[in-house]
Amino acid sequence: MKSNRLEAFSDGVLAIIITIMVLELKAPEEPSWHELKSTLPVFLSYVFSFVYVGIYWNNHHHLFQATEKVNGKILLANLHLLFWLSLIPFTTSWLGENYTAALPVALYGFDLLMCAIAYFILQGIIINFHDSDSVLKDAIGKDIKGKISLVIYVMGLLLSFYNTWISILCYMLVALIWLMPDKRVEKNMI
Amino acid sequence: MKSNRLEAFSDGVLAIIITIMVLELKAPEEPSWHELKSTLPVFLSYVFSFVYVGIYWNNHHHLFQATEKVNGKILLANLHLLFWLSLIPFTTSWLGENYTAALPVALYGFDLLMCAIAYFILQGIIINFHDSDSVLKDAIGKDIKGKISLVIYVMGLLLSFYNTWISILCYMLVALIWLMPDKRVEKNMI
Amino acid sequence: MKSNRLEAFSDGVLAIIITIMVLELKAPEEPSWHELKSTLPVFLSYVFSFVYVGIYWNNHHHLFQATEKVNGKILLANLHLLFWLSLIPFTTSWLGENYTAALPVALYGFDLLMCAIAYFILQGIIINFHDSDSVLKDAIGKDIKGKISLVIYVMGLLLSFYNTWISILCYMLVALIWLMPDKRVEKNMI
Amino acid sequence: MKSNRLEAFSDGVLAIIITIMVLELKAPEEPSWHELKSTLPVFLSYVFSFVYVGIYWNNHHHLFQATEKVNGKILLANLHLLFWLSLIPFTTSWLGENYTAALPVALYGFDLLMCAIAYFILQGIIINFHDSDSVLKDAIGKDIKGKISLVIYVMGLLLSFYNTWISILCYMLVALIWLMPDKRVEKNMI
């Protein structure tokens, strides 16, 4: 089985997830600065999730760049990843309206954590399937970024019950780790 | 006619169906456990339908893997399948809010049944069109899984008027049949 | 310029149009036959529009099957067609809730008419661009189906102010003309 | 890295943006001319944004026509462009309901300006990456259209606090500049 249809389907789902979130950004009732400002938390949570889904699309793109053939397990692991990603519009919407409450912040982090774990599983299955193919394995390397992300997500999730701003900073930190690659890191670990 | 554009269009429709359902998952009004728990039935019906649409995408992918050329009949049969699949967000939404009432559970099963019948028709037309192409015919084989699914759907549909939990278990059973392929079955029947 | 990206974009837009309409099919408040029946007009208008968008996708597919290269004019004419098609969810939603009132029925027919005209323009531009390419011109032929459709749409549109059922029958008739091709017609006119 | 998956993802996002806006076009409550007319401003803002997203798709198509390989920077710059484009449904919805108020008109213009800047950045990065490839550079040329657009957007944005109709005319002017290419301009600047 070739990977191109899997990529096309994933692209479709990711494109819809990233765009559907904007439907939560309701136009303010009145044309005033005050009303516009009140949409700011929802807007910022949209920006945040857009960046996250963008990073996932980016990494997914890199991962399947090196993957030519797929099997049934890879299809399932990919659907599993898409499932957790598809919940981002829901967790984003709750976060945007309640960014100072522990539960929505924790749930947002939990979904990010599950996405990361699902990505890990998918990556592992792909490496296993291409074991002779050392290019992919080398490219992913020790995946230090991926492992650090998991730890920070768990920290953010737990800290949300103490202070939600620290949690949000944790989630931002992970996004920054993936957005600002230093060359050396990029070469060794994607 | 080549099949790639039919696949791309179907991927698009399936990607939208699978993602649009999440719009039914409204963010709870208040950031409390109690409110979050109240979204559980809607969430579970989302998970359920996600799995079903995922399985259909998977099977559709396999079916057209072996199909190189298509004709007008195949285009129509494919649109017919997409039609019943496109109703899943509607039946899911009704099920999520009324999972203990007979009618929504029966309607959900009815739509799954119609999807299965539409898939049967599509598969039959494709086999007829490629009759010399014994690879496809062999791959699908007697399609025991497909036939068993139809029987369980009808059972689930009828039993919903007796007990909705039994119906839901029936629908779960079909999903499990398709998710857990034993190697031998996979080889002979896709 | 190659036509594949134009096809991919059109597929995306058509897939979204066809699927987004199902969002108008709101789950009934209560799990009763009575409530389910009240969604019937909205459901039937969904079925109707699904068939129409399906036919357009089908014809678009055939048209670009024979089109290898595109120019700026074709891109614009295609966007023009997609614009009128994108209004179908709106006209469908109004029709579903007011199928006995003249204006929604007329507006629905007006949009179908504009889609047909836009398709005509697109087809004409493509033939002009490929003038040496007599295969395409022959395939489309005199386009009797297309011309008859235009006449019936105008009739349906005008008759809606007299009796909406006649209008709806007119629109159904056009759909049937495109769905049931006799072999001879199919060969000569797509 | 090849550019085809970036194009497919962008097509998906653009297709959804262009189609999702129609969801703001709510069917009027009653089947009367009066009610239909009241949807006119929302309809016109939809038309306007449809044209804009269409122009962006067109230009994006041209730009990547000449781009064969992409790097990480191009992926990010493309996501940046898609972000500002994804806000168009939101700004359109606010504009449609408040087209005589300064703030929604200014915000609409601000988003168009950011889209144009993001397109500029993307274009610059692509040219840098293909520096030996003089075809692309020549094709884009001095990009006079692009620069004029930026100036008119800023003017429109500022003038909205004086008179919103002048702003709207400014935005229309930019759309016209891109829709009506004279041959010479098209050759030299895309």
- Which residues of chain D have a CB within 8 Å of the CB of C15? 15
CB B86 to CB C18 under 8 A? Answer: yes
**Calpha distance A21→D82 (Å, rounded):** 13
Question: D26: number of CA atoms within 13 Å, CB side?
Answer: 8
Residue C131: per-residue pLDDT: 67
Terminus-to-terminus CA distance in chain C, angstroms?
24
Task: Collapse the DSSP code of B130 into the 3-class scheme (helix H, G, I; strand E, B; otherwise coil) and give the result.
Answer: coil
User: 3-class SS at B34?
Assistant: helix
Q: Which of B80, B92, B94, B110 to mutate to test the interface with C (most CBs of C within 10 A)?
A: B94
C28 vs B contacts (CB less than 8 Å) = 94
Nearest-CA distance from C16 to chain D in Å? 7
pLDDT score recorded for residue A185 = 42
C176 touching chain B per CB within 8 A: no
Whether B167 and B159 have beta carbons less than 8 Å apart is answered as yes
ipTM score assigned to the predicted complex: 0.88
Contact residues on chain C for B79, CB-CB shorter than 8 A: 54, 57-58
pLDDT of residue A40: 92
| CA of A23 vs chain B CAs: smallest distance (Å) | 9
The residues, ordered by sequence, that sit 6+ positions from D184 with a Cβ below 8 Å of its Cβ are: none
pLDDT of residue D188: 46
**What is the Cα–Cα distance from B104 to B93, expressed in whole angstroms?**
9
Closest to A179 measured CA to CA, from C123, D75, C109: D75
pLDDT of the residue at D65: 80
Residues C17 and C84 sit within 8 Å (Cβ to Cβ)? no
Q: Which CB contacts under 8 angstroms, 24+ apart, belong to C179-188?
A: C179/B76, C179/C51, C179/C55, C181/B72, C185/C144, C185/C145, C186/B72, C188/C141, C188/C142
CB atoms within 10 A of CB A138: 12
CB atoms within 10 A of CB A162: 9
Show residues of chain D in contact with C53, CB under 8 Å.
Answer: none
Mean pLDDT along residues D106-122 = 95
Q: Tell me, yes or no, if A11 comes closer than 8 A to chain D by beta carbon.
A: yes
pLDDT value, residue D136? 67
Q: Which of A2, A22, A34 to mutate to test the interface with D (most CBs of D within 10 A)?
A: A22
- Tell me what pLDDT residue B129 has: 82
Residue B189 pLDDT grade (very low, low, confident, very high; cuts 50, 70, 90): very low
Burial B19-30 (b: 16+ CB within 10 A, else e): bbbbbbbebbee
Q: In this complex, do D8 and C8 lie within 8 Å of one another by their Cβ atoms?
A: yes
How far apart are alpha carbons B81 and B125 in whole angstroms? Answer: 13
Closest to A22 (Cβ–Cβ): which among D75, D87, D98? D87
Which two structure tokens, joined as six digits, stand for C135? 């295969």
Which amino acid, one-letter code, is at A134?
Answer: S
Nearby residues of A136 by Cβ (< 8 Å), 6 or more positions away: A66, A67, A126, A127, A130
Scan for tokens 């920070």, then name that residue: A152
**C-alpha–C-alpha distance, residues D142 and D127, integer Å:** 12
Give me the pLDDT at residue C65, please. Answer: 80
Residue of C66, A78, A16, C103 lying closest to B18 (CA atoms) = A16
pLDDT exceeds 50 at position B188: no
As given in the structure block, the two tokens for residue A136 are: 């992919």
DSSP per residue over C5-19, as a string? Answer: HHHHHHHHHHHHHHH
Alpha helices in chain C (DSSP H): 4-20, 33-38, 40-65, 72-86, 88-97, 102-129, 134-140, 144-159, 164-179, 183-189
The set of residues, in sequence order, having a beta carbon less than 8 Å from that of B25 and lying 6+ positions away, is A87, A90, B39, B42, B43, B46
Confidence of residue A189 (pLDDT cuts 50, 70, 90): very low
Give the 3-state DSSP-derived string for B35-86, with helices as H, strands as E and coil as C.
HHHHCHHHHHHHHHHHHHHHHHHHHHHHHHHCCCECCHHHHHHHHHHHHHHH
Residues C69-84, mean pLDDT to the nearest whole number: 91
Residue with tokens 């099919």: C25
Q: Which one-letter amino acid corresponds to residue A52?
A: Y
B13 to chain C: nearest residue by CA?
A: C15
Would you tell me the crossing angle of helices D102-129 and D40-65 to the nearest 10 degrees? 10
Say yes or no: C109 contacts chain D, CB-CB below 8 A.
no
User: Chain-wide mean pLDDT for chain C?
Assistant: 86
Quote the CA–CA distance of C93 and C111 in Å, as a whole number: 13
Q: How far is CA A133 from the centre of its chain?
A: 26
What residues of chain D, 42 to 81, have a C-beta less than 8 Å from chain A?
72, 75-76, 79
Q: Which residues of D touch C72 (CB under 8 A)?
A: 58, 181, 186
Better pLDDT: B53 or B136: B53
Pairwise CB contact (< 8 Å): A89 & B23: yes
Residues 6+ apart with CB under 8 A from C169: C156
C169 contacts chain B (CB < 8 A):
no
Task: Give chain B positions within 8 Å (CB) of A20.
Answer: 19-20, 22-23
Name the band, by pLDDT with cuts 50, 70 and 90, for residue D70: confident
Alpha carbon of A129 to those of A63, A124, B190: distances in Å? 13, 9, 20
| Proportion of chain A above pLDDT 70, given as a percent | 88
Closest approach of A162 to chain D, Cα-based (Å):
32
Q: Which pLDDT score is estimated for C143?
A: 79
Q: Is the dihedral of CA A96, A101, A105, A107 positive or negative?
A: negative
Tokens of A154: 């768990």
The encoded tokens of residue C171 equal 């629109």
Q: Does B176 touch chain A (CB under 8 A)?
A: no
Nearest to A9 among B15, B30, B50 (CB): B15
| CA C77 – CA C124 distance, rounded (Å) | 10
Tokens 């007299």 locate to C162
In whole angstroms, what is the distance from residue C111 CA to residue C45 CA? Answer: 14
What integer best gives the mean pLDDT of chain A?
Answer: 86
Instruction: Name the token pair of B162.
Output: 């007796």
Cβ of D19 within 8 Å of Cβ of C17? The answer is yes
Task: Give the nearest partner residue to A27 out of D15, D79, D93, using CB atoms.
Answer: D93
Cβ contact D118:D77 at 8 Å: yes
Report the percent of chain C where pLDDT is more than 70. 88
Interface list for B 15-44 with C (CB within 8 A): 15-17, 20, 23
Q: Decide if A76 and B22 are in contact by the 8 Å CB cutoff.
A: no
**Ranges A140-149, A177-186, B106-115, C172-181: which has the least confidence:** A177-186
Nearest to A170 by CA among A117, A106, A114, A88: A106
Locate the chain C residue with the closest alpha carbon to B75. C58
Q: Tokens for B164, please give them.
A: 């909705």
The DSSP symbol for A27 reads: P
Please give the C-alpha separations between residue A162 and each of A61, A91, A175, in angstroms, as whole numbers: 36, 19, 22
Distance CA D129, CA D57 (A): 21
Residue D161 sits at the chain A interface (C-beta within 8 Å): no
Q: Is the pLDDT reported for residue D11 higher than 80?
A: yes
**pLDDT value at A187 more than 60:** no
The percent of residues above 90 in pLDDT, for chain B, comes to: 50
Mean pLDDT over C121-138 rounds to 77
Lowest mean pLDDT among C35-39, C56-60, D113-117, D184-188: D184-188
In whole angstroms, give the CA distance from residue D173 to residue A98.
Answer: 41
Encode pLDDT of D12-66 as tens digits.
Answer: 999 999 998 998 888 898 888 888 998 999 999 999 999 999 999 988 988 888 7
pLDDT of residue B181: 61
